[in-house]
Structure 1
Amino acid sequence: MSNGAPRFTEHDTSLNLWLDDPKDPAVKATRDQLVDHLSARGFHIENDQSVDALIRDDYHTGNKGALEFNLNLCGRHLEIIFFQNVVRENRAGGEYDFDKREKMPFLIGMQYELERAKIATLMAGLGYALQVKVKRQGMAEITHRRDELAEQHRGIYDKQPESRNSTTATKDTVRDGDAIYFRNHDKRWFSGTAYYHINNMWWVLLPCGEVMNIASFELRHTAPEAGLKGQHFNDDDRKKKQMAAIHQAVARKNMRKIEVLRASLTPENSYYVLSLKHTNRTDAHITLWGQSGCGYRYSIAAAGKYSRDEIMAHLGHYNGGDNIAVDAETVERLVTMCDKTDRDLERQAPTLRNTPSNWHKLIASAIATPKHDVIPEVFRTKSGKKRKAA
C-alpha cells in the first residue's frame, strides 16, 4: 500500500489504521490511547509473549470474557483483531479462522459489535473516521476497483493493453466492452462482457451480475462450436462423477446400482489386484490396490481396476504371489457390505471378507499362476507355520 492520507478501515473483525509516516510519534500515541481505552473497558491486557522480546512492546493480547484480541503495531500500520475460541474451525485457534464474525456465538458477537462501535468513536475523536466497506456488485464493483487501481497505476485504463495482455484463446484481441465466452474451472461455458483489470487479467461481467476474473488467453469472441457440445467434462471429470455416484450407492447399500456403475466406469475384462503382503491374518477385510497403483483400499468402490493388457505386460508385478490379479466379476460376486472399514472413510462400504473360503475362490480365479506360492496370512496356523491354500 502506498503512502497517502491516514486511513482507518475494517475487514471482518480486523480494524486497521494506516498512517503517513512510521516515525510520526502519533503512531505510538494512538496505540497507547487504544490500550488505555480497552483497559478502561474491562479488558485484561498484556504483551504478547509469543513474539521476540525486542519487539514485544508493540504486540499486545487481551480478553474480556470469551472475546479476545491481538493488537499489533508494525511501522505505520496499527491493527486490532478480535476473535473467540468458543466456536472455531482452525485447530491452532480462533485467531486463524476465516469469517471470524460469522462464527461468533450471538452474545459474543453482540459484545464485539459494542466494542467495535466504542473504538470507532475513539478513533473518530482522534481524526480517523472508520471507512465502512460497501458491498458492491456488477458494474459498480468493476468501476470501483478500476478507480482504486487507477490511483496506483496512472493511465492504466487510458489506452488499449499490450498485445501479450489482450490476446485471446483464438489469437484475437479483446477490448473493453467485448462480448466474450470462456470455460470455467468446472468445464462449463459462460458468456459475459469483458473489462480490463491488470496484466493479462480481465473482469467478466456475467448476465446475472456476478464478476469473474479471467486471463485473456482463456477468452474467445465466438460461441462454442457444435463440435464442442458434450465436452463439458473430460475423462477424469467423468470418472470422478461416477465414483461419487458409487459412494452414494454404497451409503444406501444399493448393490445393483454399484454393479452397474462399476461396469460403466471400466472396460470389460478388468481386474482387481489383491495384496497378500498388506492383508494380515487379523484383518477383517482383504486389501486391494487403489487406482493407478496408488495406495491400498478395503472398499471395492474405492479400489482400482486394471485392464488385462496392462496386467499381462507386467505380470510379475501385478500377479507375482505377493499380489494376485482377479477378474472383476469374481471379486464383485464375493462382496459383502460392512458397517465400518479400517482404512476407508466411508462408514459403510462393500468389501471382501478375509476368510479362507474367499481366498480359495480368488486364488483359483487369478489371471495366471503366480511365480511364487500364494499363501495368504489367514492360512497361517496358530503355531506360526504356513500351509498352502489348496
Structure 2
Amino acid sequence: MSKRKLDINIHDSHIGIWQDDPNDPTFREEVYSGLIRQLRGRGWSVKEDPQVRKHYSCLSPGHRLAAKGTLRAKIELSGRVTKIEFWCTTYPLDNPNGRRYDFDKLQRMTYLDQKRWELEKRRILTWLLSFASLEIKDKNLSKLSADQLIQKDYAESCHTKPDLGHADWHADYNRTSKDGELLSQGQTVWFAGHDGRIRRGQAFYNLNSMWWVKISPNERTNKSCRELFTKQPANLRTKLNERRRRGVLERLLSRAVQASDFRRAEQLQGILFGDEQVYRIWSRKDDAYYAVNSCGYCSDANRAGRYTRAEAEKEVQRVPHILSMVCPDGKHVRFDQDAA
C-alpha cells in the first residue's frame, strides 16, 4: 500500500498539514486525532476550545487547545487541512483578545520558547514521515533577503504602479509619520519594537497606511506610518510602550476595584490620571462601553476603558451620533446636534 501524500506548509509558528482529497474519511483519525495523541503522549494537555464550544458547538470536535509549560497551541481540522499554531505566555500581552491573535508569534517568543517550538516542529514532522511522504514548504527558511522580499511583493502586487515601482499612496495621510512628517520611499525611520525598545530601519511603501521597514539585510517588518518616526527620539533608552503600559495599569486598577482594594485602586488611578477626573465612553450603537485604549467594547463599567475629560470629549465629538461621554457621576452627555 502506497504512503499517504501530504503537503506541509510552515510559516511563523503555524504548521499546516494538507492532503489532496477533502473527502478522505481516514484523514481525521490518522492525522488530526493522531496529532492530538502524539501531543498528549509528550506531556501536552489537550482540551476543547471553550469559545468554539459555546458559539459553534457543531464545529467543536474539530477545534482543540493545547498547553505545555509556557507554550500554547491551537489545533484545527478544516476540510483537507489540519492546522496547528503555537504561541507562548512569556512575551508582553499586546492584543487585548489574547496572545493567540498576535502576528509574528515566533519572533515574539523568547530564545528558549523558540527552541521548544523548533523541537515540537521536528517531532511532528518525524511522526508524519512514519506513515506519509511529505512535501515541505518552510517560509521561515526563505533565503531571500529583506530587499528581495520587498521587491517580490512589489512584483506580485496588482497595486504596483510601473512608473513608481510601488503602489500609489494616493493621499498624504497614508505617509504621515507619528511626528507629523511626510515619509518618502527608502528613508530612515525609527519605531518601537515588540518590547517597546526603539529600533531603526528603512521605510518602503506597502499599501494604504502600511510600510515595510527593512531592519537588517534579512529582516523586515510591516508598520503603520503612524508608528514611525522620521527623527531619532531624544532618549533611545526610553521604551515607547505608553499604550501597553496604560493598558496594564488600567487592568490592574479594575482588578483592585473588583477585589475592594480601594487603597491600591487609588494609587493606580493617581499614577494614571493624577488629580483629573475619570470618564468613560458609551457606544449607543453597540450598547456597550469602550474598552481599554479604545480597543473593543465591554458591558462592565469597571472593566471599561478610563479616559480624561479631554480624551473622552475628543473621541465622542468625532462620532457624536453614536457615542456619549459618561461622567464620573454616571450621567451620559451627548454632543450631537439633536441633543443640543
Alignment TM-score, normalising by the size of structure 2: 0.43
Alignment TM-score, normalising by the size of structure 1: 0.38
Query: Quick check: which has more Rg, 1 or 2?
Result: 1
Greater relative contact order (Cα < 8 A, sep 6+): 2
Higher strand share: 2
